Amino acid sequence: MNWKTKVGIGAGVIGIIAAFCLLAKYQQDTIEKLEALEKQVVSQKRLSDETVRAESSYVTKKDLESFAKDNGVQFNEVKKDLKDLQAKVIGVSVVKVVSSGYVGSNLPSTTTTPNLDPQISTVDLFGYLKNRQEFKLTEPIGSDNVPIGKVGFSAWKEHPWDLDISSREYSVVNILGQDDRGRHYIYNKFSIEVDGQRYDLEIDQSKFVEELPKSKFRFSPRLYVNFGGGAYFTEPSGAFVPGIQMSMWSYGRTRPDPDWTFVGLGAGYEVAQDRFVFTINPLSYNVAHHIPFVNNIFVGPSVSADLTGGLAVMLGLGVGL
């Protein structure tokens, strides 16, 4: 083995060790960030245009379902519909707006209309001067009559009106679902609570738009089980190398399921020559995007080198861990 080969192999070994150290550091940093996020509660914030950033936090699956149920959502119905879309629930948002209501007494009329029948102008035919008149205000919504309040009229008073507008709590529940491709689904429920009773309102239109994810180049180290098959060009022999490999960069719409990976460094065992080798995979394509029921299966060219100077060119198959 000449000195150039030794230097090249040595550099490869150092590169692989450095890559694995970098991956370990990257994974540790990621774990620490996730742990910090899990404990962090992002507080509610009101922006200048009255847009409100929701308070957000991570909860368990049980707490998520309980939160939805407490706000009047039949969670099983949502999960059943999402199952048909091959998706699952990932979050629940609740927006509440409370109107304070109003109580007023001895209020004057806002407008008056003259009596055009002078025959009954001075006759109290209906006992309005003897009895205070009251009227309950309701709003028909679906099959329910949702209370608004009540109004009273005392004909013998200078300011005859009394008004009692009920306080209302308006609630909008949004359930967020997501499928394996990263597409989101939104479920909405709108209700009004008056005097301790909740009324569900029929939603006339619900629409959600999101930006189509664009493919981009990312630094995203990831481990793969790799299998390479080919032939040595330093000697007349075939080569078959199972091993572990780590890619350093990727290109695609999402980090978990990229289209391409780049600069795969790894190590394996060359079966035909019975020796350990180092492997380099310059690029690989995710063929799982064209195969149903699987993902993260990559195919690409690979080169292996061992300490004796043997070099092989192979076609590699990698499966993401």
pLDDT digits (tens, 9 = 90+) for 81-102: 999 998 999 999 999 998 888 8
Residues 45 and 18 in one domain: no
148 pLDDT higher than 60: yes
Amino acid residing at 170: Y
**How far apart are the C-alpha atoms of 150 and 147, rounded to whole Å?**
9
Say yes or no: 128 and 79 in one domain.
no
Q: Are both 244 and 313 inside the same structural domain?
A: yes
Q: How many angstroms separate the CA atoms of 224 and 247, rounded?
A: 8
The pLDDT confidence band at residue 107, using thresholds 50, 70 and 90, is: confident
**Based on the domain organization, do 139 and 174 belong to the same domain?**
no
My answer on whether 252 and 155 are in the same domain is no
Residue 42 has, within 13 A of its CA and on its CB side, a CA count of: 12
Query: End of a domain among 153, 179, 201?
Result: 201
Give residue 252's domain range.
3-31+214-320
DSSP state, 213? P
Domain count, the chain: 3
CA 266/CA 249 separation, integer angstroms: 14
pLDDT at 37: 55
Q: Would you say 28 and 135 are in contact if contact means Cβ atoms under 8 Å apart? A: no
What is the amino acid identity at position 53? R
- 3-state percent helix, strand, coil for the chain, nearest multiple of 5: 20, 45, 35
311 in the same domain as 219: yes
Instruction: Report yes or no on 208 lying in a domain.
Output: no
- pTM (two decimals): 0.63
Q: How confident is the model at residue 165 (pLDDT cuts 50, 70, 90)?
A: very high
Cα first-last separation, the chain: 36
Give 189's strand partners: 173
CA distance 18 to 10: 12
Nearest CA among 301, 284, 311 for reference residue 228:
301
Residue 263 backbone class (left: φ over 0; alpha: ψ -120 to 50; beta: rest) = left
**Structural domain contains residue 241:** yes
Q: Is 36 a member of any domain?
A: no
Residue at 207 is within a domain: no
Indicate the residue among 201, 222, 244 that finishes a domain: 201
